[in-house]
Structure 1
Amino acid sequence: MSNPVWGGGRFIVDDAEPEQIVTPEDFTEEQKMLAETVRAFVERDVKPRDADIEKLDYELTVRLMRKAGEIGLLGADVPEAYGGLGLDKTSTTLLSETLSPASSFALSVGAHTGIGTLPIVFFGTQEHKSRWLPQLASGELIAAYCLTEPGSGSDALGARTNAVLSDDGQHYILNGSKLYITNAGFADLFIVYAKVDGVHFSAFIVERGTSGFTIGPEEHKMGIKGSSTRPLFFEDARIPVDHLLGEAGKGHLIAFNILNIGRFKLAAGCLGGMKEAIQLSSAYANQRKQFGKPISSFPLVAAKLADMNTLAYVTESMVYRTAGLIDQSLSQADLDGADGGLQAAKAIAEYVLECSINKVFASEAMDAVVDEGVQIHGGCGYIQEYKIERLYRDSRINRIFEGTNEINRLLIPATLLKRALKGELPLVERAQALQRELLNPSPLSASTAAQSPLSKPIAIVAALKKVFLMVGGLAVQKHGLRLEREQEIVASLADFMIDLYALESALLRARKITLNDVDPQALQLPIDMTALFAEEAAERAGQRARVILAALEKGESLRLQLSVLKRLLRFEPADLSALRKRISARVISAESYALL
């Protein structure tokens, strides 16, 4: 990938080029081989034992995790110097996606390799890394991440678990509790957040068996039943001072940046789940007959498959685009230096906005896909014998994990505004330039000239950026820094940004595919899916913009703004039925997620 001057949130004010993004079409043979190794492991070792995993067989899960360690899956993010593979984020994203059909087991692995291990990878001392990373990479030790408390979830800094330095200065004495801790039933190492002296938010490495540290009973969950979820209790638990992770009072740097990676990796897992749902649903639709023919031949069922496939394509495009951006950011950090943790935090934080976008879009897209999957299965979709029923239940937690989608929606515009105020984004300048353009008496044009099959999606992306700057600029002008209190407006702006990033990612990928030496007929599917999503995104943008404008303006001023909005989004509607028919035909034929 080239090295443009880029950064988090810039998709709002600048246009990227296809060669600047990473797509699945860029996977190397080595990456494909790694994915195939994981796929074979899931099919051979995990799926045949799925029923036992769902019964919370700790011993089986740990045994399989150690087997995953043998093939390198647990050490993908661990540097080679500490027994891992030291892979880039694009590769580890592919592994997370490929592991997704392992259901609850995939969650156990993801919690271990991501939020459980990465705090030590990025923020541990050399002693921490040498002592624990080799065993975490092999599966000899299993990790858990402990942030949520009975009184604090999305408000992580509201934690009440307290840490006090002992009189001899050798230990921190922890008191408090944690809730909903994944892997708690069998984890050996826990990343625990507490406030030193009730004030300084900090992170600690806590070993199982520590005196004063106990683990509560399993929670009975709606889904992901094969993963362990238990509370933790600390009653004068003595934690050696050298188990402090990072600096006292700097735990937020660890917590929030690891959550950013967690959000992004969750999106990759959702992508894998969406592809599995498409495979199950398309195969069932071809097999199930009603009125003497397969239900896949009915247009309403076929349209569902088209929409499901399009959502997966868009998700895939944005997930790997973001992976490439994070890789680029991390490549410029000296992770082995004395301030490696701070450099890692800064590199990850660069794309905090995009990580939240991925999390929200992918989790809600997966919910939509599995919901339609159940509908296609009909009564069978409600029966546990069919995997789609499990996917439906398991999917629901993703909108809660790693910060609720509501919290992430509030973070997205807030992060953009903060970057602009720091001078990291020319947001205000672009909004002012747009205002001057809108005051120009020359007519605004939303050209749909058929210069190429992607001309209209390109025009829609350009128009959506203008609309966002128009309504977003007006919202900031009206409310200033108090805008964060107007949560309905902020959420609408977030949804606007999410759709825009998703659409631009799909468009850039489609353009990149067309630049390659590919059979022209094979290009039709990504073009059609991009066009379908663009049409729907433009409709949603118009509705959201009208809601925001109505909350900001009244009377003649509102009518003027609505008139400008109408001109910006003046597009001749496309034949969505024809697009869906072409997309669904490929999905039905392939009986899987289809791209080319």
Structure 2
Amino acid sequence: MASNSNGQLESVVGSLFFGEINENLVFPFPHFSDSQVEMAKEMTAAVDAFAKDNINGEKFDKEAHLPKEVIQGLAEMGLLGLGVPEDLGGLGLDYSLYCRVFAQVASHDGSVATMIGAHQSIGYRALLNEGTPEQKKKWLPRLASGEVIAAFCLTEPGSGSDAYSIKTKAVDNKDGTYTITGQKLWITNGGLAGFYSVFCKTEHVVDGKTVEKISCFIVEGGSPGLSFGEKENKMGIRASETRAVYFDKVVVPKENILGELGKGFKIAMNVLNSGRLSLGAGCVSGMKMILEMATAHATNRKQFDRPIAEFGLIQDKLTKMAAMTYAAESMVYLTTGNMIKGMNDYYMETAVCKIYGSESLWASIDMAMQIAAGNGYMKEYPYERLMRDVRINMIFEGTNEILRALLALSGVRGPSEEMKELGKVTDVSKALQDPIKSLGVFTKFARKRMSHMMGSKALTKAHPELKEQAEKFSSMLGRFAIAVEDTLIKYGKNIIDNELPQGRLADMVIDLYIILACISRTTAILNSSKATQEQKDYVLRLTKYICNESGRKIKRNLKAMSKNNDKNVIKISETVVKNGGYGFDIIDF
């Protein structure tokens, strides 16, 4: 298997920017073992049974409150300690089982899933990742049991995606304690928590100069100086608690430092990487539930003496929803499978899962509401509540815009290092001034370009029924790699300030990962003795549909890398900003 210098599995998404793919990281598609299947069925059945009697999304939404007895019931089922080792009171689930069980919770109510996710996917994740044995022994049993709820405190009024700009500070008192002063904004579980992962600026001396870096601290609930704002009145997920959290000279012992001082930014990013994956899994379950609602309505609703499920434009929506669900699910569990195998560099994969999952879920509820027509717009039906609930996912844990920039800039970093040799040689006129010096560099570059133009290595492990899709993937992967190189040649280091081409590169790599995950999963199903022929036919059609749709989007973005409306976009947006909006009225001219 492909691995880096540390022996860790390389990122699959990262390799796509080079125009490369190691099939051993994709085939065979990760599958649940018999024991995992048994546990997953037991856990999901238990979640469903509990939800039937205890989770009332409509009531929770109306009252904007999640009853304590519901939280305690979830804790008693082990749902607040899914990833905590068994010897510390948790269930010790691996990434795949964790996501599958969390997804089942999310299928019943967004507020409940948000509370649970904020607690364990991000709230105490830094403790799981970086905590000392003593810290874990002290806190994890209480967190897993629900005795203590956790919250993740990073965002501030002036610091959202730009985490480096946080202003909350932790001052070393030189007596074994730190004093934390500042505020955090939009903190889920803010008023419920007894355990806060708090990110602060700390001072460090580097080369004789004092610099500020980010560090992570545990702050205990009830600490003097710790207070909260009013509960936020949100558009959706209204039962989950969101508040501002204030730190007025809160003193914490140095034993509450999580990880190394000054390494907090990396700790925060690793936490969010895990959170994005469970969020993506939750989106999959949401899509499944919404598709069931839409299918029931389309089957039972008759117009012109026919179920509306027989009309082409409704069939188109049902197909899109099913395809997006299959694609998102395939990406999430291809990713978790590789994480279990040892892939530690997975932040690009989780960003892809979060972006695609959240946008597909939003598209699904929009289509389901359209299928429901007038019923969908009425509060007595769940569509409008679901629409309010799912909208946050495109903002949670890094907006999809910032994650696209992250994907593109992280992805081009590797190829840009390879192209450093070219330097100014990428300017042909300058290269011709010293052709001897430039010849070797250009020859190597040209050979690689020619290889990409002829298509990357074929997917030899894809099922024969998917030969056409595998060949098209290889061709598109090669063209994508050329687009990456062309972008670097065109923009150089200025690519960091050009988000429009970044967005296209990100969208293309998302679609490539979609195709890859679906081909892998469908190959496994087609080779399976457990799947019926009807099931095989279904997933084969889904995969061909997905590959065609994603392929069209890739081709459109490839073309737009050179022929686009970017200059117009920039000028028009500048005028809009200057006008403070649209700028004129029909009666003006």
> What is the TM-score when the length of structure 1 is the normalising length?
0.82
Measured on the aligned residues, the alpha-carbon RMSD in Å equals 2.8
- Contact between 1:260 and 1:356, CA under 8 Å: does it hold in 2? yes
Match of 1:459?
471
CA distance in 2, matches of 1:480, 1:30: 52
> Residue 34 of structure 1 contacts residue 95 of structure 1 at CA under 8 Å; is this kept in 2?
no
Larger deviation, residues 403-412 vs 383-392: 383-392
1:409 paired to 2:386:
no
Residues in 1 aligned to 2:515 and 2:444: alpha-carbon distance in whole angstroms? 20
> Counterparts in 2 of 1:379-398, with a 5 A limit?
379-398=374-393
> How many corresponding residue pairs?
522
Determine if the alignment matches structure 1 residue 127 to structure 2 residue 134.
yes
Partner Cα distance (1:523, 1:504) in 2: 18
Partners of 1:410 and 1:27 lie apart in 2 by 40
- C-alpha separation in 2, matches of 1:445 and 1:52: 52
- After superposition, the C-alpha distances for 1:153-206 in whole angstroms (9 at most, x for unaligned) are 00011100111122x523211111100000113111111111014812111111
- Give SS of 2:379's match: coil
Residues 38 and 98, structure 1, Cα contact 8 Å, conserved in 2: no
1:92 is matched with which residue: 98, 101, 112?
98
Matches within 5 A, 1:346-365: 347=344, 350-365=345-360
Question: 1: distance between equivalents of 2:334 and 2:284?
Answer: 14
Aligned residues of 2:185 and 2:243 also touching (Cα < 8 A) = yes
1:106-147 deviations in Å (ceiling 9; x for gaps): 110111111012111111112211111001001011011011
1:505-548 C-alpha deviation (Å, 9 max, x unpaired):
01111111111124334311111111111111121111111111
Aligned equivalent of 1:275: 288
Superposed displacement of residue 85, structure 1: 1.5
* Larger displacement relative to structure 2 (46-55 or 453-462): 46-55
Give yes or no for the alignment of 1:180 onto 2:186: yes
Cα offsets for 1:190-248 (capped at 9, x unmatched): 11111014812111111121111110001111111111011011111222221111121
CA distance in 2, matches of 1:388, 1:231: 29
2:286 paired with 1:240: no
Work out whether 1:529 is the aligned partner of 2:542: yes
SS in 2 for 1:391: helix
Contact 1:431 1:473 in 2 (8 A): no
State the one-letter code of the partner of 2:525.
Answer: I
- AA matched with 2:522: A
Q: C-alpha offsets along residues 19-60 of structure 1, whole Å, 9 cap, x if unaligned?
A: 4431469883333334424432443343347514652335x1
Aligned residues of 1:77 and 1:118 also touching (Cα < 8 A): no
Q: What does the per-residue CA deviation read over 1:244-263, in whole Å, with 9 as the maximum and x for residues that have no partner?
A: 11121111121000011111
The one-letter code sitting in structure 1 at the alignment partner of 2:401 is: E
Structure 1 position 483 matched with structure 2 position 488: no
Going from structure 1 to structure 2, the CA distance change for 1:54 and 1:25 (only over 3 Å counts) comes to: farther
2:302 — aligned with what? 289
Structure 2: 5+ residue runs without aligned partners? 4-8, 204-210, 419-440, 567-589
| Contact preservation (8 Å) 1:53, 1:105 | no
Cα shift at 1:479: 2.1
- Residue of 444, 447, 450 corresponding to 1:436: 450
157, 162, 165: which one pairs with 1:155?
162
Q: Which residue of 58, 75, 86 maps to 2:81?
A: 75
Would the aligned equivalents of 2:415 and 2:485 in 1 still touch at CA under 8 Å?
Answer: no
Q: Which amino acid aligns with 1:171?
A: T
Structure 2 Cα separation of the partners of residues 430 and 390 of structure 1: 57
Query: AA paired with 1:464?
Result: M
Using the TM superposition, name which of 35-44 and 516-525 deviates more.
35-44
445 and 230 in structure 1: CA distance in 2 versus 1, 3 angstrom threshold: closer
1:96 deviates by 1.5
* Residue pair 1:434, 1:466 contacting (<8 A) in 2 also: no
* In 1, Cα distance between equivalents of 2:373 and 2:303: 12
Distance 1:527 1:50, change over 3 A: same
Q: Superposed, which structure 2 residues align to 1:217-232 within 5 Å? A: 217-232=230-245
Question: What SS class does the counterpart of residue 153 from structure 1 fall into?
Answer: coil
**3-state DSSP class of the match of 2:362?**
helix
Match of 2:526 in 1: 514
Which amino acid in the other structure matches residue 411 of structure 1? L
Inter-partner Cα distance in structure 1 for 2:539 and 2:521 = 8
Find 1:56's aligned residue among 59, 64, 69: 64
Letter in 2 for 1:162: K
Distance 2:355 2:39 in 1: 26
Q: Once structures 1 and 2 are overlaid, which stretch shifts more, 3-12 or 510-519? A: 3-12
The alignment partner of 1:374 has SS state of helix
Deviation at 1:445, TM superposition (A): 13
Partners of 1:507 and 1:122 lie apart in 2 by 33
SS in 2 for 1:247: coil
**1:384 to 1:25, Cα distance in 2 relative to 1, 3 A:** farther
- Unaligned 5+ segments in structure 1 are 331-346, 554-596
- In terms of mean alpha carbon deviation, does 242-251 or 34-43 score higher? 34-43
| Alpha-carbon shift at residue 433 of structure 1 (Å) | 4.1
What is the aligned partner in structure 1 of residue 333 from structure 2? Answer: 320
Letter in 2 for 1:356: A
CA positional deviation for 1:16: 2.0
Instruction: Work out the CA distance in 1 between the residues paired with 2:100 and 2:445.
Output: 37
Contact 2:2 2:22 in 1 (8 A): no
2:515 to 495, 503, 507: 503
Preserved CA contact (<8 Å) 1:46 1:102: no
Instruction: Name the amino acid aligned to 1:397.
Output: I
Task: Say which SS state the counterpart of residue 238 (structure 1) adopts.
Answer: strand
Kept in 2, the 8 Å contact 1:38–1:95? The answer is no
**Where does residue 341 of structure 1 map in the other structure?**
none
1:28 matches 2:36: yes
How many angstroms apart in 1 are the aligned matches of 2:386 and 2:31?
A: 26
CA distance in 2, matches of 1:467, 1:527: 25
Cα distance change of structure 1 residues 401 and 118 upon mapping to structure 2, 3 Å threshold: same
Identity score, percent: 33
